[in-house]
Amino acid sequence: MKVIEHLDKATSPLFSYEIVPPPRGRSVQDIIDIVEALVPFNPPWIDVTAHSAGAFYNEKSDGTIERKIIKKRPGTIGICGIIQNRFKIDTVAHLLSLGFTKEETEDALIELNFLGVENILALRGDGPNYSKKVDIGRSCNNYASNLVEQLSNIREGNFLTEISGARPLDFGVGVAGYPEKHFESPSKKVDITYLKKKIDAGADYVTSQMFFDTSKYISFAKDCKESGIDVPIIPGLKILKSVKQLQSLPRNFYIDFPDELVTEVLESPDHVIEIGINWAMKQAEELLNFGVPAIHFYIMNDTESVLKVVKKFQ
């Protein structure tokens, strides 16, 4: 079932989750353990992130430098297949426009369709740290809106190359939204304009980037509605679990922490996990009072704190 169908049929707010494939060389059992912990809470869907390949340099024993192009976290499609078919939980596969050709995207969509995966989150992604050669005759989606357009075409049965007997692949499509503005956008107004372009291209819903100030999400949701965006906007929450994250999360995700939360953590660093859980509970309550249809938790492969929050509301 598609995410939008879950939202339409829900009689109470939903709680969904996002997991990250394990690092290269680790076992998929890591993911299975996480999903098994989530099963008792009846997740309507689980997102699985995707990662493009990158260039990495290693010094060999003879002193020369070796350059390799690898994915540090491969396995998105395989993990989606396991969750969808072994656990019977609807799965949202993340697809990136940067770092992949349209042909590679189409192949991935066909594989996901074979596995029974019906949902895609279309993202631009971070640009690869090397110049990927694109073969003659192939092309790329430069923006998430272009990726949504490709998905819309496939939903109508229009593939890159005409295929005899091909059928439409009816995926549900989500996109990302940024309550604090995407760091490359010149203003919030322009950022919402870009988001509306993704909706107009065929996206069904929006999942927001993590935020720690609920008022920023509420303001963002109201601005989106005023701009003509009428699809569900699902807030995304991350639970703070270490003092180091006060620096790493803003650096990696371009977000701000409220002064109140920072002060509390710095005054009681030994209690940061408890503080993070209580703050997330407070945010969840504020969001539910605002009337959100669902809350999406960025697990980062640590379920314990998230489930303590969810238990309060289920």
Q: What percent of the chain has pLDDT over 70?
A: 90
Specify whether the CB–CB gap between 185 and 191 falls below 8 A: yes
115 within some domain = yes
Q: Give me the domain span that covers residue 231.
A: 3-50+76-313
The CATH number of the domain where 18 resides is what? 3.20.20.220
159 within some domain = yes
269 within some domain = yes
290 within some domain = yes
24 within some domain = yes
Q: How far apart are CA 171 and CA 147, in angstroms?
A: 13
Token duo for residue 138: 């192939």
**What is the chain's mean pLDDT, rounded?**
91
Specify whether the CB–CB gap between 96 and 50 falls below 8 A: yes
Q: Is 75 left (phi over 0), alpha (psi -120 to 50) or beta?
A: left
What digits encode the pLDDT tens for the residues 191-216? 999 999 999 999 999 999 999 999 99
Q: How far apart are CA 127 and CA 51, in angstroms?
A: 10
| Residue from 208, 33, 10, 212 nearest 123 by CA | 208
Phi, psi of 48 (to 5 degrees): -125, 120
What digits encode the pLDDT tens for the residues 66-121? 445 556 788 999 999 999 999 999 999 999 998 899 999 999 999 999 999 999 99
pLDDT grade for 64, boundaries at 50, 70 and 90:
very low
Q: How far apart are CA 75 and CA 39, in angstroms?
A: 21
* Count of the separate structural domains present in the chain: 1
- What is the Cα Rg of the chain in Å? 20
> Is 90 exceeded by the pLDDT of residue 294?
yes
> Is 70 exceeded by the pLDDT of residue 132?
no
Altogether, the residues listed in the chain come to a count of 314
> Is 60 exceeded by the pLDDT of residue 129?
no
Phi, psi of 18 (to 5 degrees): -130, 130
56 within some domain = no
pLDDT at 227: 97
Token duo for residue 1: 């079932």
Specify whether the CB–CB gap between 148 and 122 falls below 8 A: yes
Place of tokens 């303001």: 219
Q: How far apart are CA 34 and CA 13, in angstroms?
A: 22
pLDDT grade for 314, boundaries at 50, 70 and 90:
confident
Whole-prediction pTM: 0.92
140 within some domain = yes
Segment 298-313 shows an average pLDDT of 92
55 within some domain = no
Specify whether the CB–CB gap between 108 and 115 falls below 8 A: no
pLDDT at 261: 98
pLDDT at 213: 98
Specify whether the CB–CB gap between 45 and 3 falls below 8 A: yes
pLDDT grade for 272, boundaries at 50, 70 and 90:
very high
